[in-house]
Every structure is written in C-alpha cells, then in structure tokens.
A and B are shown apart, each in its own frame.
Chain A
C-alpha cells in the first residue's frame, strides 16, 4: 500500500553554495492495505513532508516512494488523477475553494470522480450532518469559522472513502467534542478498509485512541510501529 525505501528529501537554499537542508533522512517503512498509523514527532520533525510525499505532491530527492502500487516519479501522468482520487488528504491550512458553498466544496471530489448528482446530494448531506454542518450547506468559506472550515475540509477528504487517508493535525483548533467526532470518523473509515495515517503531536489524543505509530525525529524514522 505505502512503501518508503531509503527515502530522503533535501531542500537547497537560494545560492549555489548554500548547504542542503535535509528534511527527511533515509526513511524506510512499509504499510499494508487497511492499516492505521499515528504519525508522531515534534514540530519540524518532517511529518508534513512525509505526508506530502505519500500524497505525491512532493518527490523524494533519493529513494523510492511507492503509494497504492505506483512509484512516485515513474507513474504515467495520465494515471495520476485516478491515483489522487484514491488518496484523501487533510492538511493544516485546510484549503477550500472560496467561491463555493460548503456543500459544493464537499461534493467536489465526488463530481470530479463522475458520481451521479443524485448520489452526490445524499452522500454530501449525510457527511455534513455527521460533521455538524447541516446549517452551513450554502455558506461560503469566508462566512465559516476556522473550526467549521476545518470540518468542511475533513468532510471533503473523506467523502469518497479513499483507499489512503492522510491527515495532518486534523483536530488542531477543534474543541474536545469535535476532535473526538473527527477521530471517530477517521477510525470508522479505517474500520471500513481505508489505510489511515494521522499526524499529531497531541499525546492525550493518542492515549485515548491507542494504535501503532510512526515516530519521526529530526527527519529520521525512529519507530515504525
């Protein structure tokens, strides 16, 4: 499902003589289909970069990243959209399309996947109800609070029941009740067969929902669950 083989990623500064900054160093792990992992580590340890590599929005400087059977950098461009549609991603900035309502933002992945409109409506309504956003169907992101925007972004990421779900601090900024609701949703998705990876530095949350973890420290994987 997800395999990292000797993966490193470095950023170069602006000048030709500037030293490379290693964000990830020689990372190796293999996750089977349907597995669940917490992704733990201090801020700046490389959690977001690791998730972006799995999301194929970054390419490694060295090593091989294989996601859903496709190797980053070697996948045919025409095959990428289908691959991306099987990956749900929740990133910390929770980007939404500003001119679309909450309903349309959540419906977007379904429509891009060609789902019939009748099914889109039912699925989106159910998802927004679960997220406690029933009263915000036609609200545009500008009129939503930060927490509401976050929940819309999460709903959009999970609406297609992706084979691989990547969540980067999905509950940051939410109150405890909403956080629990979101974690339950992600665990439910895992129970239904999705591979779920949740990056967090909230130790209490991990204790409440114990599970195997990938632990990063200064760009190196020190524990592979």
Chain B
C-alpha cells in the first residue's frame, strides 16, 4: 500500500497555491514596492536637506564692510574691527569671522578672474556670522552696524533657505502622496487577485464552509497566502530599488553638505543613509500587512453574504 505523504502544515484544502496567482501578485507588488522605496527615499532625503539648510545656511549671516581699512568716524579702530566688535557683542551671535584675502579671492575668482588684485574695483571685507539660533533682531543689528560703519550691508541667508525649505517640504508632501497612492494601488491589486481567487475556488470555499469552517478560518487562509505573495513582491521591489536609491543619495550628498563617497564598496556602504537600510525589510513587511488586511476585508465581506 502506498504511504500517504500528507503533512497537515502544508494542507491546502482550498487549493490556494493554484488559485491565487503566484506570479502576477508578486510582480505587481514588486513594482509598487519599487515606487514606494523611491518615495520613501525622497521623503527622507528631503528631510535631511531641510535639516541641513535650516541648521546651516539658515543660521548664517554675511556682512559686507566697504572701505574696511579706514578708521571709523571719531575713532582710531578700523571700520572692519568696529563692525566685528559689534557683531561679537550682539545677542545670538555665535561667531563673527572676517574672511581672509585668500578666501575672498577664492570666492570671487569665478566672477572676477584669478588676478583680482590688479583690478581697480574696491572689494569690501566680508564677515561670516554664525548665529546660535536664538531670537534675532537683524533690523536693529543692521542699523547699529550702519551707524558705526556707514554702507555696511547685512545679508540674511535664512530668507532663501526658508524658500528652499518650503520647496523641499512640498516635495516631501508629494513623496507622501505617492506613498499613499502606491499603498492604495497595492491594496487594489491584492483585492482584485483575491476576488479572482475567490471566483476560482468558490465551490471549495462553500464545501469547507458547510463542513464547519468559520469565516475567520477561510479568510485567514486566503490572507496568509496573499501576505506571503505580497511579501515576495516587497522583497523583489526593495532589492531592485536599493541601487537606484543609492545612486540618488550619492547625487544628493553634496547638497546635504556631505562629500561624494569614494567608489569602494566599504565607503559606499558606510555612506548609505542609515534610515534607508531597513527598506528591504520594511517593504516586504508593509506589503504583507497590506496584503493580509486587504484580503481579510475582501473575504469577510464576501463570506458574510453566505447563510
């Protein structure tokens, strides 16, 4: 007599291994997971840029002092020294350092050429001021500086950093919307696959139902299968997305104040932002959760119509 090689753990009384398409769902979910990975990377990248710009450029002032070497009216110190002293004493100023001639040369070389000293045009001294982030009263500070050294100009970087921040936040919002749409499409794909599996296995479901299987049992069998297929899609999508996300991160690095990574494997791994590493795990888990919940809801709604 032939020995029955039945293993209950693999018992597939509803025939789901054949009913729920094992190619279509992972493929479509993989595509969605890929898009989701890009959206998540975009969202995180935008967050990094905002943090960098608001903490860096947003807290820097540039002060230009014309005729910096001349003495102030009614005093012996130079206009540059007077302005610098006022800046250092002002509340909320962390540091105020005048750029050296070399630094100025480097700054102006792209516009004025290498031989800047031969030009007759007077170049103002530039002071880079770092603010501590406390409340700042730039109008009053600018007035004070102008009174001490007339013609002094205060340039606040916070304004354009703020505008860039708004732009990047809009991009972040778009990433969030893309993520939401991708999640909804994934749920729709799984719902359609479940309905198709349900049609294919209607008779089997009715038999099992009449034999005493609960709604929860049948829904769970479908949901577990759908979750498994969706998670496979999530893994595939996540793995395909990693190199793309890595390339985008590399391109965006200078904007976030980081250098371009050396093209060795170790450097590349070290460079990849920490929050993005769990993507190949998060995406399959998220896909599985969406798959499980969508299938549970679809199945229970259908089963509820049975007497």
B75 lies within 8 A of chain A by Cβ:
no
A145 lies within 8 A of chain B by Cβ:
no
A171 lies within 8 A of chain B by Cβ:
no
CA distance A112 to B14 in the complex (A): 12
Q: Give min CB distance, A70 to chain B, whole Å.
A: 13
Q: Give min CB distance, A89 to chain B, whole Å.
A: 7
Q: Give min CB distance, A66 to chain B, whole Å.
A: 16
Question: Which of A33-41, A50-58, A173-181, A199-207 is found at the contact surface with chain B?
Answer: A50-58
Contact A111 B207 (CB under 8 A): no
Most chain A Cβ neighbours within 10 Å, of B6, B11, B203, B204: B6
CA distance A55 to B211 in the complex (A): 10
CA distance A191 to B139 in the complex (A): 102
Chain B interface, >50% SS class: loop
Contact B12 A99 (CB under 8 A): yes
Contact A112 B4 (CB under 8 A): no
Within 8 A of B (CB), among A53-76: 55-59
| Residue on A nearest B304 in the bound complex, by CB | A77
CA distance A85 to B15 in the complex (A): 21
Contact partners of A137 in chain B: CB under 8 A: 1-2, 4
Q: What is the size category of the interface that chain B forms with chain A?
A: 20 to 34
Contact A104 B212 (CB under 8 A): no
Contact A78/B212 with A56-B307, A97-B15 known, Cβ cut-off 8 Å: no
B101 lies within 8 A of chain A by Cβ:
no
CA distance A117 to B210 in the complex (A): 21
Contact A59/B307 with A97-B13, A108-B13 known, Cβ cut-off 8 Å: yes
Within 8 A of A (CB), among B159-217: 203-204, 206-215, 217
Q: Mark B200-237, 1 if CB is under 8 A from A, else 0.
A: 00011011111111110100000000000000000000
A103 lies within 8 A of chain B by Cβ:
yes
CA distance A96 to B211 in the complex (A): 11
A-B contact pairs, 23 of them (CB 8 A): A56-B307, A57-B210, A57-B307, A77-B215, A84-B211, A84-B212, A85-B211, A95-B206, A96-B207, A97-B13, A99-B12, A99-B15, A99-B204, A101-B4, A104-B6, A104-B11, A108-B208, A108-B211, A112-B212, A112-B217, A134-B1, A138-B2, A156-B211
Q: A85-B212, A95-B203, A156-B211 are in contact. List 18 more A-B contacts (CB 8 A).
A: A57-B307, A77-B304, A78-B214, A80-B214, A81-B213, A84-B211, A84-B212, A85-B211, A98-B204, A99-B15, A99-B18, A104-B11, A108-B211, A111-B11, A121-B4, A137-B1, A137-B2, A138-B2
| Closest 10 A/B residue pairs (Cβ) | A85-B212, A81-B214, A84-B212, A99-B15, A81-B212, A109-B211, A112-B212, A112-B213, A97-B204, A117-B8
